[in-house]
Amino acid sequence: MEKGPLGRRRGRGARERILSASQQLFRDQGINRTGMDQLCAAAQVSKRTAYQHFTSKDELVAEYLRRFDPDVMPGVFDRTDLTPRERLLAAFEMPASTPLCPYIAAAVELHDPQHPASQYARDYKTAIAARLTETAREAGATNPEQLGEQLALLIDGASARTRVLNGDSFPTAAAIAAVLIDNAIPAPSPRQPSDDRGTTGSAPVPVGGQ
Amino acid sequence: MEKGPLGRRRGRGARERILSASQQLFRDQGINRTGMDQLCAAAQVSKRTAYQHFTSKDELVAEYLRRFDPDVMPGVFDRTDLTPRERLLAAFEMPASTPLCPYIAAAVELHDPQHPASQYARDYKTAIAARLTETAREAGATNPEQLGEQLALLIDGASARTRVLNGDSFPTAAAIAAVLIDNAIPAPSPRQPSDDRGTTGSAPVPVGGQ
DNA sequence: TCCTATATACACCGGGCTGTGTACGTAACG
DNA sequence: CGTTACGTACACAGCCCGGTGTATATAGGA
C-alpha cells in the first residue's frame, strides 16, 4: 500500500482519517466553509468512501461532535494531584490559542436547534456544568449547582470573547472564578491553598438544596 | 405605486428596506443561510437594485453590522434615573428571547478575521467594555478597567450560552455581576434599594486580582 | 485459495449561491 | 414637459457544494 503505481491505497482506517481531518478543518475553517471535496482530499480518502461511512455531511458533523463527549475536559477534572478548588481553577488555564468551543461554533454555524449536533452541544454543556457542580460540591461550596453554572458561563464567555477579540480572555475569566469560588466556600482558610492538601473528604460537604 | 397592475413599485426606500430585512433574516437564519434572493424578496426589492446599493453581499453584511454601532446598548448606559451601579446591572436585564450578539454570530459564521465585519465586531466589543469601564469608574470601582472587562465577558458568556442551551443565562450572569460589583466598590453607598439577587450574602471579600 | 468487505478513481447531476446583462417602467424635479 | 436617477422584471452565467453511479482494485479472513 502507500502509493502504489496504480490506484494507491491508504489502508483501512478511512473512517478515522476522515474524522481526524474533520477535527482540524472544522476547527480551522469552520463547518460550512469546509467542503466534502477538500475534506476527503485532506483525509486522503475518496469521496465515495466517505459517503459509505457517513450517509451525509450532517451525520459526519454529528459524529465529529460526538467524539468530544467522552473526554469532557480531560486532564482537568481527573487530576488527583489538585484540590477540588484548584481543579475548578485549572479549568481556566487554557492556552491563548484555544479555539472556540466546537459546540458553540457548531450551534452558531448550523443555526438549527433540531440538528443532532445542536442536541450534542446542549448535552455537552450540561455535562460540563455537572462536572463543575460536582467538583464545587467536593470543594465545599454552599450552592454547588449555582457555582457550577456560573463557572460554566465564564468558560463560554472566555471562549467566545477570545474568538471575537483575537486575544486571550481566559485570565479574566479565571480572576472572576477565583472571586466566585472564594465567595461560595464558607469556612475554609481565606489564604491561598498553597499546601493544604487535605484530599477531598476534608470539607464538611453541606447538602445543597434545589 | 404600491402594487400597480404592471411592474408594481415599492418606492424609493430600497436601501432601508434591504437593511431592515437583513436585520431580521440574518438574526433569524444566520448570514450564510440567507441567500440574496430570499433577502430581496423579503425586502420587496429587485435583486438588481440590491446590487446597485451594495456591490457584494460582504459589503451588505458589513453595513448591517455597522448599523449597530451608534446605539451601543441603547437605553442602558443613558438612563439617568439609575445609579451607576444600577446601570451596570441593567445591562444584564435582557429578555430571554434576546438573540446571540450579532457580532459574535458574524465572527463565527464568516470565520475570517480579515473580514470588515470581524473588524467591526472587535470595535464593538471594545466599545462595550469601554462603556462598562466608564460606568464602573462612575460607580467608584477601584479597578474600573478590570470590572468593565469582566462584565463584558459575562455578557458574552450569557449571550453564547443562551444560544446554545436555548435557555436564559442572563440571570446567572447578573448574579455574578452583582458579586463582582460589590467586591469591586470599596465603600458601598446604601443609597439605592439593594436588590440582592439570589447570590450568597454580601461578604466583602477583597477582590483577588489575577 | 477464494470471497467479501473495503477502498479507489472519476465523471456527473441537481440545486443553490453570488453576481450580471438587458430592456423596460416610473417617480421626482428642473 | 423632459430629463435623470431610481427601481423593476427576468433570464442567465459561473461556481461550488452535497451526493451518486459505475467499474475497478486490494486487503484480510475463511
How far is it, in rounded angstroms, from Cα B117 to Cα B106? 7
Whether B174 contacts B89, CB under 8 Å: yes
- Tell whether the model's pLDDT for residue B36 goes beyond 60: yes
CB-contacted nucleotides of strand C (7 Å): 6-11, 16-23, 25-28
For residues A122 and B197, the model is more confident at A122
pLDDT computed for residue B68 by the predictor: 86
For residues B56 and B188, the model is more confident at B56
How far is it, in rounded angstroms, from Cα A140 to Cα A133? 11
Its pTM stands at 0.85
B35 CA, C25 C1': Å apart: 27
**What average pLDDT does the structure give for chain A?**
85
Q: In angstroms, how far is CA A67 from the centroid of its own chain?
A: 11
**Quick one: pLDDT band at residue A140, thresholds 50, 70, 90?**
very high
**Quick one: pLDDT band at residue A152, thresholds 50, 70, 90?**
very high
- Tell whether the model's pLDDT for residue A34 goes beyond 80: yes
Beta-carbon contacts of residue B45 (< 8 Å; ≥ 6 apart): B10, B14, B17, B18
- Tell whether the model's pLDDT for residue B29 goes beyond 60: yes
How far is it, in rounded angstroms, from Cα A208 to Cα B163? 28
Beta-carbon contacts of residue A193 (< 8 Å; ≥ 6 apart): A83, A85, A86
- Tell whether the model's pLDDT for residue B200 goes beyond 50: no
The C-alpha cell of A197 is what?
Answer: 492538601
What element of type H or E holds B34? none
How far is it, in rounded angstroms, from Cα B103 to Cα A112? 19
How far is it, in rounded angstroms, from Cα B174 to Cα A91? 22
Mean pLDDT of B9-38: 92
The C-alpha cell of A25 is what?
Answer: 478543518
- Tell whether the model's pLDDT for residue A40 goes beyond 80: yes
CA dihedral angle for residue A138, residue A139, residue A140, residue A142, rounded to 10 degrees? -100
A124 CA, C11 C1': Å apart: 41
Whether B72 contacts B127, CB under 8 Å: yes
The C-alpha cell of B96 is what?
Answer: 430571554
pLDDT computed for residue B204 by the predictor: 39
Residue of chain A nearest B157, judged by CA positions: A157
pLDDT computed for residue B10 by the predictor: 64
pLDDT computed for residue A187 by the predictor: 63
How far is it, in rounded angstroms, from Cα B52 to Cα B153? 39
pLDDT computed for residue B4 by the predictor: 33
* Nearest in space to B30 (alpha carbons), one of A203, A181, A110: A110
Lowest pLDDT segment from A106-115, A196-205, B103-112, B170-179:
A196-205
Q: Report the nucleotide nearest the CA of residue A3, measured to C1'.
A: C8
How far is it, in rounded angstroms, from Cα A123 to Cα B184? 35
Q: Which residue, chain included where needed, has cell 450578539?
A: B101
- Tell whether the model's pLDDT for residue B207 goes beyond 50: no
Instruction: Supply angle C-alpha B29, A32, A109, rounded to 5.
Output: 40
Q: Can you say whether the dihedral through the CA atoms of B76, B82, B85, B89 is positive or negative? A: negative
**What average pLDDT does the structure give for chain B?**
86
Whether A55 contacts A63, CB under 8 Å: no
pLDDT computed for residue A75 by the predictor: 77
pLDDT in tens, B131-185: 999 999 999 999 999 999 999 999 999 999 999 999 999 999 999 999 999 999 9
Q: Report the nucleotide nearest the CA of residue A54, measured to C1'.
A: D19
Q: Report the nucleotide nearest the CA of residue A55, measured to C1'.
A: D19
Q: Suggest the residue from B97, B161, B181 to mutate for an interface test with chain A (most A CBs closer than 10 A).
A: B161
User: In this structure, which amino acid lies at residue B163?
Assistant: R
Shortest Cα distance, chain B CAs vs residue A15, angstroms: 26
* Protein residues bordering strand C (Cβ below 7 A): A 7-15, 44-49, 52-53; B 1, 4, 6-7, 9, 11-12, 33-38, 47-48, 51, 55-58
B53 CA, C19 C1': Å apart: 13
Length of chain A: 210
**Quick one: pLDDT band at residue B23, thresholds 50, 70, 90?**
very high
Q: If you write DSSP's letter for every residue of A17-68 in order, what string do you get? A: HHHHHHHHHHHHH-STT--HHHHHHHHT--HHHHHHH-SSHHHHHHHHHHTT
Give the Cβ contact number of residue A113 at 10 Å: 13
Q: Return the number of CB contacts < 8 Å for A and B.
A: 144
For residues B37 and A196, the model is more confident at B37
